[in-house]
């Protein structure tokens, strides 16, 4: 039987890349775009790839085992349904692995959540909410990890929090103005 040379399909890491987002399928991109956009807003160089523990296991193993040596600091894995990707990535690396469960067609992402979060002891996956909120929060959490050694990035995180608070305050001001007219 001909041996598949899947290893040659493993993407290279561009120097300076700090976060790698792996998605089980391109169908996960509409949700994970939020994750990529957030990391880019913070100016964190990010790679994003379609890679599946089920469909391209050798590429996942090769990319993940060399991720730390290639300068990657955090891995974010998004997968839906039988979502094994984050767990398998965590099995291959000591880098922090953040898992984002994707909404799924038949079980609304609860299958993805359970598959990602219910890891056996010893192999952690920090698991986020299903969908866009999880995608955004995984990105912010990755920035928080990297910012421990980057004061400029930490300042950007505090500015982000201040922006959120200002948004809430503006909404409250608008609410007060509308209720006071009634
Ligand atoms: P398709 O849309 O390609 O059929 O994929 C993907 O993340 C996607 O949400 C359907 C769903 O299958 C998921 N998938 C996994 C893995 N690989 C693909 N859960 C994996 O390795 O865990």
Percent of the chain with pLDDT over 90: 94
The tens digit of pLDDT for each residue in 102-159 reads 999 999 999 999 999 999 999 999 999 999 999 999 999 999 999 999 999 999 999 9
The tens digit of pLDDT for each residue in 44-55 reads 999 999 999 999
- Burial per residue of 20-37, b for 16 or more beta-carbon CB atoms within 10 angstroms, e otherwise: bbbbbbeebeebbebbbe
Q: How far is Cα 69 from Cα 174, in angstroms, rounded to an integer?
A: 51
Structure token pair of residue 98? 């953040």
* pLDDT of residue 7 exceeding 80: no
- Mean of pLDDT values over 12-19: 96
Residue with the smallest CA separation from ligand 1 atom 11 is 80
Q: Is the CB of 129 under 6 A from ligand 1?
A: no
Residue with the smallest CA separation from ligand 1 atom 16 is 24
Query: How many residues would you count in the chain?
Result: 182
Q: Is the CB of 79 under 6 A from ligand 1?
A: yes
DSSP letters spanning 41-77: HTT--EEEEE--TTT-HHHHHHHHHTTTTTT--EEEE
Q: How far is Cα 97 from Cα 90, in angstroms, rounded to an integer?
A: 6
- Mean of pLDDT values over 15-33: 98
- The pLDDT, as a whole number, for residue 182 is 76
Residue with the smallest CA separation from ligand 1 atom 5 is 25
Q: What are the angstrom distances between the C-alpha of 104 and each of 33, 56, 80, 136, 162? A: 17, 20, 6, 18, 34
* HSE-up (13 A, CA, CB side) for residue 119: 21
Confidence of residue 4 (pLDDT cuts 50, 70, 90): low
Alpha helices in the chain (DSSP H): 29-41, 57-65, 85-92, 110-117, 132-147, 151-180
DSSP state of 157: H
Phi–psi pair at 153, nearest 5 degrees: -65, -35
Closest CA to 105 of 27, 35, 21: 27
DSSP state of 107: T
Confidence of residue 181 (pLDDT cuts 50, 70, 90): confident
* pLDDT of residue 77 exceeding 70: yes
Q: Is the CB of 31 under 6 A from ligand 1?
A: no
Q: Is the CB of 105 under 6 A from ligand 1?
A: no
Q: Ligand 1 centre from 57 Cα, in Å?
A: 12
Record: fold of 6-149: Rossmann fold (3.40.50)
Q: Ligand 1 centre from 89 Cα, in Å?
A: 14
Q: Ligand 1 centre from 82 Cα, in Å?
A: 7
Q: Ligand 1 centre from 52 Cα, in Å?
A: 7
Residue with the smallest CA separation from ligand 1 atom 19 is 83
* pLDDT of residue 1 exceeding 50: no
Q: How far is Cα 163 from Cα 165, in angstroms, rounded to an integer?
A: 5
Structure token pair of residue 18? 């700090």
pTM of the model: 0.94
Q: How far is Cα 50 from Cα 162, in angstroms, rounded to an integer?
A: 34
Q: Ligand 1 centre from 112 Cα, in Å?
A: 10
Domain ranges of the chain: 6-149, 156-182
Assess contact for 170 and 178: CB atoms under 8 A: no
């Amino acid at each position: 039987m001909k041996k598949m040379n899947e290893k040659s399909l493993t993407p290279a890491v561009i120097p300076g890349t700090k976060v790698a987002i792996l998605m089980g399928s391109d169908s996960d991109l509409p949700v994970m775009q939020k994750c990529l956009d957030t990391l880019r807003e913070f100016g964190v160089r990010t790679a994003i790839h379609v890679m599946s523990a089920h469909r391209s296991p050798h590429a996942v193993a090769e990319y993940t085992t060399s991720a730390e040596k290639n300068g990657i600091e955090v891995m974010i894995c998004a997968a839906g349904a039988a979502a094994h990707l984050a767990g398998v990535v965590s099995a291959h690396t000591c880098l922090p692995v953040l898992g984002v469960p994707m909404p799924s067609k038949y079980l609304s992402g609860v299958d993805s959540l359970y598959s990602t979060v219910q890891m056996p002891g010893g192999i952690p996956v920090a698991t986020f909410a299903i969908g866009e909120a999880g995608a955004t929060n995984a990105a912010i959490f990755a920035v928080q990890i990297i910012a421990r050694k980057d004061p400029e990035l930490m300042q950007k995180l505090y500015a982000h929090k201040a922006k959120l608070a200002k948004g809430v305050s503006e909404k409250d001001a608008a609410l007060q103005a509308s209720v006071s007219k009634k």
